Amino acid sequence: MKRLLDYSITLVILLVLSFYLPRLLPGDPVSAIFGEEAIASMSEDMIADIRNKMGLDRPLWFQFLIFLRNVFRGDLGYSYYYREYVINIIKQSFPWTLSLIGVSLSISSILGFLLGLNASYRVGSNYDRLSFIAMVAVSSIPEFLVGIIMLVIFAVNLKILPASFSLSPSAFKAFLLPCISLICVDFPNSYITTRNLAVSIVKERFIETAKAKLKRDRRIKYVHIGRNVLYPVITRFLLRLSHLFFGVIFIEVVFSYPGIGMTLYTSIVHRDYAFVQICILLMSFIIVTINMMAEYLFAGGRT
């Protein structure tokens, strides 16, 4: 019950922030959307009419009430920059983001799980110490910087992958670079999580018994140890997923990837309140929901 109450309070806060944060951006949204030259050629009556259609001529508190009413009705609004309903923009861009996160998270999770188990079995060795230090170092690099590093290596220096995404016959190659970047963002966390959880299992008596019975190392690592860390790894998988929903925004911007993050960035630049406020609300809702699920599973695993 307490979790549900906390969740409800969080959603109310998100509703308020998603509305007010875009409006803290400097500049006039009408000028940002239509351009200074277009605005200069318009009469004051035309500009006033545009502001009226966008709802900008009303008090802020009244705009917020309209926003709340529309959200609860399922009316997400109209983007004057994209000349499209917000729900349609989300339907077009969100699958791109989901595909990028899905592929990257799957690969990084499998690699992190297998290599993390391997490192835990060799805890204290030079391999374990060096790999752990390397993973901690990589995990501390910001997402946008990871994207830039990958861009410089594969697109600028090696010239084997395109620098930006484009819907062309080479779209698969263009998908690889943002995918590799997101794998590099998530893999260290997957590795460290599995390794740290597995280290405590390695010290258990039943593992020593399995070793004494001369069972194969591979069976001990991937069956005895892997099976026992799987549940907590899945719980922390959800936390990594919520982190990626935030980190993917920076990766998409670096590579001009046509997902929700790139669309959000473009909307912020052009002060497109209608899309920005719904996008912030949607992403925040997803992240909070995933975190709540992870907390519930984690609490269930301890009981």
- What lies within 8 Å, CB to CB, of 286 at 6+ separation is 242, 245
Query: pTM to 2 decimals?
Result: 0.85
Domain assignment of residue 125, yes or no: yes
As beta bridge partners, residue 78 has 85
Apex 236 CA angle, 234 and 237, nearest 5: 60
Give the residue carrying structure tokens 């690969």. 107
- What is the per-residue pLDDT for 40? 75
What confidence tens digit (pLDDT) does each residue in 203-223 have?
666 666 666 665 666 667 667
Domain assignment of residue 55, yes or no: no
**Domain containing 177 — which CATH number?**
1.10.3720.10
What confidence tens digit (pLDDT) does each residue in 125-143 have?
888 899 999 999 999 999 9
Domain assignment of residue 252, yes or no: yes
Domain assignment of residue 167, yes or no: yes
Domain assignment of residue 178, yes or no: yes
Long-range contacts of 164-168 (CB under 8 A, 24+ apart): 164/255, 164/256, 165/255, 165/256, 165/257, 165/258, 167/258
Q: What is the mean pLDDT of residues 22-41?
A: 78
Q: Which domain holds residue 163?
A: 92-270
What confidence tens digit (pLDDT) does each residue in 239-255 have?
888 888 888 999 999 99
What confidence tens digit (pLDDT) does each residue in 277-290 have?
999 999 988 888 88
Q: Are 259 and 178 in contact (CB under 8 A)?
A: no
Q: What is the mean pLDDT of residues 145-172?
A: 84
Q: Are 112 and 194 in contact (CB under 8 A)?
A: yes
d(CA 92, CA 272): 17
What confidence tens digit (pLDDT) does each residue in 167-212 have?
666 778 889 999 999 999 999 999 999 998 888 877 666 666 666 6
Domain assignment of residue 80, yes or no: no
Number of domains in the chain: 1
The larger pLDDT score, comparing residue 38 to residue 73, is at 73
Domain assignment of residue 221, yes or no: yes
Question: Which of 60-64, 166-170, 190-194, 298-302 has the lowest average pLDDT?
Answer: 298-302
- What is the per-residue pLDDT for 33? 77
Taking each continuous run of H as one helix and of E as one strand, the counts in the chain are 14, 2
Domain assignment of residue 261, yes or no: yes
- What is the per-residue pLDDT for 226? 75
Question: Which of 26-30, 55-59, 96-100 has the lowest average pLDDT?
Answer: 26-30
Apex 111 CA angle, 105 and 113, nearest 5: 95
- What is the per-residue pLDDT for 46? 82
- What is the per-residue pLDDT for 51? 81
